[in-house]
Structure 1
Amino acid sequence: MRTFIEILKDHVTYGRQLIKLAKADIIKTYRGAALGWAWAVIRPAVTIFVFWFAFSIGIKKGAPVDGHPYFLWLIAGFTPWFYMRDTLNGGAASIRRYKYLVKRIKYPVDTIPTFVSMSNLVTNLALQCIMIAIYIGFGDYPTIYYLQLPFYILIMFIFFTAWSLFAGVLSAMSKDFLNLVKAFVPALFWLSGILYDATKIDYVWIKNILMFNPVTLIANGYRNTLIYHRWFWETPTELRNFAIVTVIMIILACWAYKKLRKEIPDVI
């Protein structure tokens, strides 16, 4: 608890710096490109287009899901995935990427993964605006359920920022852990119900495991908002499961930071 309070104090004290560093992270990521940070939207937009073409025009296996066009159902879970993917990878590499803040400047290590997560979220919010524009283009206009989108954005940010601190500390200590994360993320995409409805899997034990997968739960939350028009309190089991894995991740992040923070400057 003491470590958790210390981390919170660092975030409050360095709040302005976090915003500036998040902006600088976006600039650094896309420096040298004529279109700049717009590539953060263009690349996932191209991916979405490819999937739309494949499932709607090509192999035509994208049958409607519960009466809704598969493409709209797909992008509801696909769009937040880009933030989750970038933060899973970028969060794990964050402390190594900004090692000068650790070695040359007296700056709290625990806030580095946070501004990396913030920069990923900002670019993903632009993509989410495009997603909503696509829905409107298909004649599916915003409803009152859109009011809960900030809730899902917030809990997604909290979990994956905690993950970033946990993974960032371990990756700073060992490149093997960072390589493991990079190898695992593509598999996580296929195992998380982004392309299919995880709630309809026949094997009960697999479905139960997926219902503790934060990627699956966030994808389901976006679909409940945009497609099924359900409030988050109408799926209490999923909300409970997400709360459990978030608390566990926060505990792991605090534990890793407390145990290893003094060794990080010497290792990286």
Structure 2
Amino acid sequence: MNTFKEIIHDHIAFRGQILKLAKSDIVKTYRGAALGWAWAVIRPATTIFVFWFAFTVGLRGGKPINGYPFFLWLIAGFTPWFYMRDTLTNGAGAIRRYHFLVKRIKFPVDTIPTFVSLGNFLTNLVLQVIMIAIFIGFGYRPTIYYLQLPLYWLMMVVFFTWWGLFSSMLSCISKDFLNLVKSMTQPLFWLSGIVYDASRIHYNWIREILLFNPVTQIANGFRNSLVYHRWFWETPVELRNYCIVTVIMALLAVWAYRKLKKEIPDVL
């Protein structure tokens, strides 16, 4: 509990620096590129186009879902994935990337994954605005269910920020862990219902396992808001699962920070 209080205190005390460093992280990511910020849109757009072409044109499996074109259903779950993917990998390597903050100016280690996660979220927010504009362009105006999008933003950021603290602490001690995380990102994509509806899998035990996956929960939440028109309380199992895995992740993050915080400066 004392470690948890320390983490909360550091985030409150350094909240201004966290916001500035989140902005700096975004600038640093796209600095030096001729197109600059445009790459934040170009790369995801290219990926989405490839999957849309494969499933709609190539495999001819892109049938309308709940009255919405398959393309809209796809981007509803695909867009938040880019934040989750970047935070899975960048979050795990956050402390190594910003080692100078620990070694030179004694910046609180526990806040580093937070501003990296926040920077990724702000970039992804631009994509989500574009996604909503695409929905409107297809003739589907915002509905009252859009009001719950901030809830899923919060759920997404909270879980993956805790993940960032946990994984970045372990990555400092073992670079093999960081390599493992990077190698598991692609399999996680295919096991998380980004390009298919995990809640409709026929095998009950597989479906139950997938619904404990935070990536699946967030993707389903966005689709519930944009396509299926369901409120978050209409899927209580997924909400319960999210609370369980988030509490577990928070406990793991606090444990890792308490055990390793004194060793990090020496290791780096």
Match of 1:160 in 2: 160
- Amino acid of the structure 2 residue aligned with 1:121: F
Match of 2:238 in 1: 238
Match of 1:120 in 2: 120
Whether 2:219 is the aligned partner of 1:207: answer no
- Secondary structure of 2:63 counterpart: coil
1:192-226 per-residue CA deviation (whole Å, 9 max, x = no partner) reads 00010101111111100011000000000000000
- Amino acid of the structure 2 residue aligned with 1:71: F
Match of 1:30 in 2: 30
Match of 2:255 in 1: 255
- Amino acid of the structure 2 residue aligned with 1:9: H
Percentage of identical aligned residues:
71
- Amino acid of the structure 1 residue aligned with 2:230: R
1:92-138 per-residue CA deviation (whole Å, 9 max, x = no partner) reads 00000000001111110000000000000000000001100111111
Whether 2:228 is the aligned partner of 1:221: answer no
Taking the aligned partners of 1:248 and 1:91, their CA distance within structure 2 comes to: 18
> Structure 1: any 5+ residue segments left out of the alignment?
none
Superposition pairs of residues 180-191 of structure 1, within 5 angstroms: 180-191=180-191
Normalising to structure 2: TM-score of the pair? 0.98
Taking the aligned partners of 1:241 and 1:59, their CA distance within structure 2 comes to: 33
Taking the aligned partners of 2:9 and 2:216, their CA distance within structure 1 comes to: 31
Taking the aligned partners of 2:84 and 2:135, their CA distance within structure 1 comes to: 21
1:141-196 per-residue CA deviation (whole Å, 9 max, x = no partner) reads 10011011001000110000000000000001110000000000100000000010
**How many pairs does the alignment contain?**
268
- Amino acid of the structure 2 residue aligned with 1:171: S
Taking the aligned partners of 2:198 and 2:92, their CA distance within structure 1 comes to: 26
- Amino acid of the structure 2 residue aligned with 1:202: H
| RMSD of aligned alpha carbons | 1.0
Match of 1:102 in 2: 102
Deviation at 1:63, TM superposition (A): 1.9
Taking the aligned partners of 1:117 and 1:230, their CA distance within structure 2 comes to: 28
1:234-265 per-residue CA deviation (whole Å, 9 max, x = no partner) reads 11111111011001100000000000010011
1:18-38 per-residue CA deviation (whole Å, 9 max, x = no partner) reads 011001111111110122233
- Secondary structure of 2:93 counterpart: helix
Taking the aligned partners of 2:67 and 2:198, their CA distance within structure 1 comes to: 17
CA contact (8 A) 2:66 2:227 kept: no
> Structure 2: any 5+ residue segments left out of the alignment?
none
- Amino acid of the structure 2 residue aligned with 1:156: M
Match of 2:146 in 1: 146
Normalising to structure 1: TM-score of the pair? 0.98
Match of 1:129 in 2: 129
Taking the aligned partners of 2:216 and 2:77, their CA distance within structure 1 comes to: 8
Taking the aligned partners of 2:50 and 2:207, their CA distance within structure 1 comes to: 28
Match of 1:193 in 2: 193
- After alignment, is 71-80 or 47-56 more displaced? 47-56
Taking the aligned partners of 1:29 and 1:215, their CA distance within structure 2 comes to: 24
